[in-house]
Amino acid sequence: MELNDLYRDVILDHNRQPRNFGALEPADASVEGFNPMCGDHLTLRLRLNQDTISDIRFEGQGCAISTASASLMTEAVKGKSRGEALKLFERVHQLLTDDAAPPAEELGKLAALSGVREYPARVKCASLCWHTLASALKATDLKSLAAVSTE
Ligand code: ZN
Protein backbone atom coordinates (compact mmCIF):
# COMPACT_ATOMS: atom_id res chain seq x y z
CA MET A 1 0.00 0.00 0.00
CA GLU A 2 1.31 3.40 -0.91
CA LEU A 3 1.72 6.06 1.73
CA ASN A 4 -0.77 8.28 -0.08
CA ASP A 5 -3.39 5.53 0.06
CA LEU A 6 -2.79 5.18 3.78
CA TYR A 7 -3.21 8.92 4.29
CA ARG A 8 -6.38 8.92 2.19
CA ASP A 9 -7.81 6.06 4.26
CA VAL A 10 -7.19 7.97 7.50
CA ILE A 11 -8.98 11.04 6.11
CA LEU A 12 -11.93 8.98 4.83
CA ASP A 13 -12.22 7.11 8.12
CA HIS A 14 -12.25 10.29 10.21
CA ASN A 15 -14.77 11.92 7.87
CA ARG A 16 -17.10 8.94 8.02
CA GLN A 17 -16.81 8.51 11.78
CA PRO A 18 -15.63 11.79 13.25
CA ARG A 19 -14.20 11.41 16.75
CA ASN A 20 -15.28 13.81 19.52
CA PHE A 21 -18.17 15.08 17.40
CA GLY A 22 -21.10 16.67 19.23
CA ALA A 23 -21.94 19.13 21.97
CA LEU A 24 -19.89 19.69 25.09
CA GLU A 25 -21.82 21.23 27.99
CA PRO A 26 -20.65 22.94 30.03
CA ALA A 27 -17.55 24.13 28.24
CA ASP A 28 -14.90 26.64 29.32
CA ALA A 29 -14.50 27.95 25.80
CA SER A 30 -16.68 27.90 22.71
CA VAL A 31 -15.44 29.34 19.44
CA GLU A 32 -16.77 29.26 15.90
CA GLY A 33 -14.71 28.97 12.75
CA PHE A 34 -15.68 29.65 9.13
CA ASN A 35 -13.97 28.95 5.86
CA PRO A 36 -15.94 30.99 3.28
CA MET A 37 -13.85 29.57 0.42
CA CYS A 38 -15.47 26.17 0.88
CA GLY A 39 -18.38 26.81 3.25
CA ASP A 40 -16.88 24.90 6.17
CA HIS A 41 -18.31 25.91 9.53
CA LEU A 42 -17.49 24.45 12.89
CA THR A 43 -17.97 25.16 16.56
CA LEU A 44 -15.22 23.99 18.85
CA ARG A 45 -15.82 23.60 22.57
CA LEU A 46 -13.25 22.73 25.15
CA ARG A 47 -12.77 22.23 28.83
CA LEU A 48 -9.60 23.20 30.58
CA ASN A 49 -8.31 21.69 33.78
CA GLN A 50 -5.76 24.26 34.88
CA ASP A 51 -3.58 24.37 31.77
CA THR A 52 -4.64 21.04 30.29
CA ILE A 53 -7.26 20.43 27.62
CA SER A 54 -9.31 17.89 29.53
CA ASP A 55 -12.04 17.58 26.90
CA ILE A 56 -12.70 18.91 23.42
CA ARG A 57 -15.54 18.37 20.97
CA PHE A 58 -16.66 19.90 17.71
CA GLU A 59 -19.89 20.33 15.75
CA GLY A 60 -20.72 21.79 12.40
CA GLN A 61 -20.77 21.07 8.73
CA GLY A 62 -17.92 21.00 6.34
CA CYS A 63 -16.22 19.06 3.60
CA ALA A 64 -14.50 15.74 4.19
CA ILE A 65 -11.12 17.33 4.78
CA SER A 66 -12.35 19.89 7.32
CA THR A 67 -14.27 17.24 9.25
CA ALA A 68 -11.40 14.75 9.21
CA SER A 69 -8.93 17.41 10.27
CA ALA A 70 -11.10 18.47 13.22
CA SER A 71 -11.57 14.84 14.23
CA LEU A 72 -7.83 14.14 14.08
CA MET A 73 -7.08 17.37 15.92
CA THR A 74 -9.43 16.69 18.83
CA GLU A 75 -7.90 13.24 19.26
CA ALA A 76 -4.40 14.66 19.17
CA VAL A 77 -4.80 17.56 21.60
CA LYS A 78 -7.01 16.03 24.28
CA GLY A 79 -4.90 15.74 27.42
CA LYS A 80 -2.27 18.17 26.15
CA SER A 81 -1.35 21.47 27.75
CA ARG A 82 -2.09 24.77 26.00
CA GLY A 83 1.57 25.16 25.12
CA GLU A 84 1.86 21.64 23.73
CA ALA A 85 -1.29 22.08 21.65
CA LEU A 86 -0.05 25.40 20.24
CA LYS A 87 3.23 23.75 19.30
CA LEU A 88 1.30 21.05 17.51
CA PHE A 89 -0.72 23.75 15.70
CA GLU A 90 2.49 25.27 14.38
CA ARG A 91 3.84 21.90 13.36
CA VAL A 92 0.63 21.01 11.48
CA HIS A 93 0.49 24.44 9.86
CA GLN A 94 4.00 23.87 8.55
CA LEU A 95 3.01 20.40 7.38
CA LEU A 96 0.09 21.88 5.42
CA THR A 97 1.90 24.78 3.83
CA ASP A 98 5.62 24.10 3.58
CA ASP A 99 6.93 21.63 1.00
CA ALA A 100 10.17 21.55 2.97
CA ALA A 101 8.43 20.49 6.18
CA PRO A 102 10.34 17.75 7.97
CA PRO A 103 8.97 14.20 7.84
CA ALA A 104 5.83 13.79 9.88
CA GLU A 105 6.13 10.23 11.19
CA GLU A 106 6.24 11.35 14.82
CA LEU A 107 2.89 13.08 14.37
CA GLY A 108 1.11 9.73 14.05
CA LYS A 109 -2.22 9.93 12.27
CA LEU A 110 -1.89 13.71 11.86
CA ALA A 111 0.72 12.95 9.21
CA ALA A 112 -2.21 12.14 6.93
CA LEU A 113 -2.87 15.89 6.68
CA SER A 114 0.38 16.32 4.76
CA GLY A 115 -1.43 14.83 1.75
CA VAL A 116 -3.56 18.01 1.61
CA ARG A 117 -0.46 20.00 0.61
CA GLU A 118 -0.91 18.66 -2.92
CA TYR A 119 -4.28 20.45 -3.11
CA PRO A 120 -3.60 24.10 -2.24
CA ALA A 121 -7.29 25.03 -2.52
CA ARG A 122 -8.04 22.66 0.37
CA VAL A 123 -5.37 23.81 2.80
CA LYS A 124 -7.81 26.19 4.51
CA CYS A 125 -10.27 23.34 4.92
CA ALA A 126 -7.66 21.42 6.88
CA SER A 127 -6.30 24.37 8.84
CA LEU A 128 -9.66 25.91 9.85
CA CYS A 129 -10.08 23.86 13.03
CA TRP A 130 -6.47 24.47 14.02
CA HIS A 131 -6.78 28.24 13.67
CA THR A 132 -10.00 28.05 15.67
CA LEU A 133 -8.28 26.06 18.41
CA ALA A 134 -5.29 28.42 18.48
CA SER A 135 -7.62 31.39 18.90
CA ALA A 136 -9.18 29.76 21.96
CA LEU A 137 -5.86 28.71 23.46
CA LYS A 138 -4.26 32.12 23.01
CA ALA A 139 -7.22 33.99 24.53
CA THR A 140 -7.08 35.16 28.10
CA ASP A 141 -10.81 35.78 28.25
CA LEU A 142 -12.36 32.49 27.17
CA LYS A 143 -15.94 33.70 27.57
CA SER A 144 -15.86 36.36 24.86
CA LEU A 145 -14.19 34.67 21.93
CA ALA A 146 -14.75 36.11 18.47
CA ALA A 147 -15.49 33.83 15.54
CA VAL A 148 -12.53 32.84 13.40
CA SER A 149 -12.56 33.20 9.64
CA THR A 150 -9.93 31.94 7.22
CA GLU A 151 -10.53 35.03 5.05
ZN1 ZN B 1 -13.66 22.53 2.97
**Residue 2 banded pLDDT, cuts 50, 70, 90:** low
Tell me, yes or no, if the pTM score tops 0.85.
yes
Could you tell me which of 43, 54, 60 has the C-alpha nearest to residue 135? 43
Q: Which fold has domain 3-149?
A: Sufe protein. Chain: A (3.90.1010)
Q: Measure 137 CA to ligand 1 centroid, in angstroms.
A: 23
How far is Cα of residue 140 from the mean position of the Cα atoms in its chain?
20
CA proximity to 43, closest of 53, 55, 57: 57
pLDDT at 99 over 90: no
Q: For the segment 59-95, what is each residue's pLDDT rounded down to a tens digit?
A: 999 999 999 999 999 999 999 999 999 999 999 999 9
Output the CA 68–ligand 1 centroid distance in Å: 10
